[in-house]
Amino acid sequence: MSIRILLIQPPIHDFCAYDFWLKPYGLLRVAGMLRGQARMDLFDFLDRGDEGMACDGKLRGDRWGRGAFRRELLPKPAALKDIPRRFYRFGLPREVFRAFLVSRGSYDVALIQSGMTYWYPGVRETIEEIRRRSPDTRIVLGGVYATLCPEHAATLGADLVIRGNDLQPLWTLLGIVPPPEAPAFWEGYARLRSGALKLSDGCPFRCTYCASDRLHGGFSPRRLQTAMAEVHALAVRGVRDIAFYDDALLHRAEETLLPFLEQAPREGEPLRFHTPNAVHARFITADLACRMAAGGFRTFYLGLESASAQWQAATGRKVTVGEFRQAVAYLREGGAGEIHAYVLLGHPSGDPESVSAALSLARELGVRAMLADFSPVPGTPDGDACASRVDLGEPLNHNKTAYPIRAWGAQTVNRLKAQCRTARSGHAS
């Protein structure tokens, strides 16, 4: 185990960011496969368990393990000068990372997980610091940005850019035989407030605004034994809140979710499960709703996106209003707690009236509406359709805060966000 590897989740440069159970899960899964074959350290700029993350002396959080990141005001990048919002750097201070590198010495390899395409300035910052302190370290960049914008990612100075799930170039670089799937590297954290889990990779559907197919390919269940080992690893570290990162958690639930619920730990403090990635409402039955609520699911996030039947049909028919209504009824009858509905804001073929109608529907049903700002993801039909409005070659223009404002105007966006806040304040629990 002579090879030393540094695992890094970079800071975020954006208008807004919040710890919505955010963990570098892909990076932790890769590190899990390297367990026993390398000496590894994790530096997560977004680790709210780190004392350096305190905002104004306090580390704010909610009852489910979410909370605010430390932030500092930044000048807006030139590409985003027209957006009437303040721009920030979120995460641990750059000086903390510098001190970490000095104290730990040189690493043979650094593995960096990238998030949203428009978060690449944080990746660039991280690479710059590693090059300055440890120029011989081989830097490997993977994740969402690296997969969706590989040519742009190659300009940041990494030695290797990993696209998608093909890890063979990494194994070749490290000189090891591809290891089998293993539990994620949760022991890399000194303290954990929440964790993440996936029972499957990918999604069988092809919504025109979603990049899941480019990131993961088709749907494939994970080994249940691996998932259960991860849950136990989190539970023994005192974690109670676990977010499912699946893109299609309820698809083929009889093979994945239901067996998981049958084996989920019952001893000790009860685990609380969450679904921030928007479950498919059409798959929720009366029986499934009861079993999820009884099995520990505390927050349910449903993808409504729009109340327009025409829009739903054109973008992949994720759900109909009737299916959404039925799912909410099943969840209520099954004893579900918090129910949320994502509504897509700023979609190129949508309109403010349909967004308003969806928010009104959520309020009528007593569901907490949440606006999901549209990001023109490159390589998706709806993202590529935005090329006439913005330069997609600059990933900053994929920013989810920026695009709706450019498409519909700040006044309209502010009005819809105000309606959403009103709907949330008036929901029925």
Distance (Å, whole) CA 75 – CA 403? 19
Please give the structure tokens belonging to residue 178. Answer: 């591809």
Distance (Å, whole) CA 368 – CA 289? 18
Q: What's the CATH number for 4-174?
A: 3.40.50.280
Helix, strand, coil percentages, rounded to 5, for the chain: 40, 20, 40
CB 97 within 8 A of CB 112: no
Q: What is the pLDDT of residue 429?
A: 41
Q: What is the pLDDT of residue 213?
A: 86
Q: Considering only CA atoms, which of 252, 242, 185, 244 is closest in space to residue 8?
A: 185
Residues of the chain with CATH 3.20.20.70: 201-425
Q: Which residues pair with 14 in a beta bridge?
A: 88
Distance (Å, whole) CA 59 – CA 219? 38
- Residue 227 has, within 13 A of its CA and on its CB side, a CA count of 25
Distances in Å between the Cα of 205 and the Cα atoms of 217, 219, 254 are 10, 9, 18
Q: Considering only CA atoms, which of 360, 371, 216, 194 is closest in space to residue 274?
A: 194
Neighbouring CB atoms inside 10 A of 300's CB total 27
Q: What is the pLDDT of residue 192?
A: 93
Residues of the chain with CATH 3.40.50.280: 4-174
Please give the structure tokens belonging to residue 247. Answer: 């893109």
Distance (Å, whole) CA 413 – CA 45? 31
> Which residues does the chain have with pLDDT short of 50?
428-429
Backbone dihedral angles phi then psi of residue 43, each to the nearest 5 degrees: -120, 110
* Pairing assessment for the beta strands 297-305 and 272-274 based on DSSP bridges: parallel
Q: What is the pLDDT of residue 400?
A: 98
Distances in Å between the Cα of 271 and the Cα atoms of 38, 195, 228, 399 are 31, 11, 13, 34
Q: Is the dihedral of CA 410, 412, 416, 421 positive or negative?
A: positive
Q: What global pTM score does this model have?
A: 0.95
Backbone dihedral angles phi then psi of residue 303, each to the nearest 5 degrees: -85, 100
Q: What is the pLDDT of residue 217?
A: 80
Distance (Å, whole) CA 42 – CA 296? 30
Domain covering 201-425: architecture: Alpha-Beta Barrel (3.20)
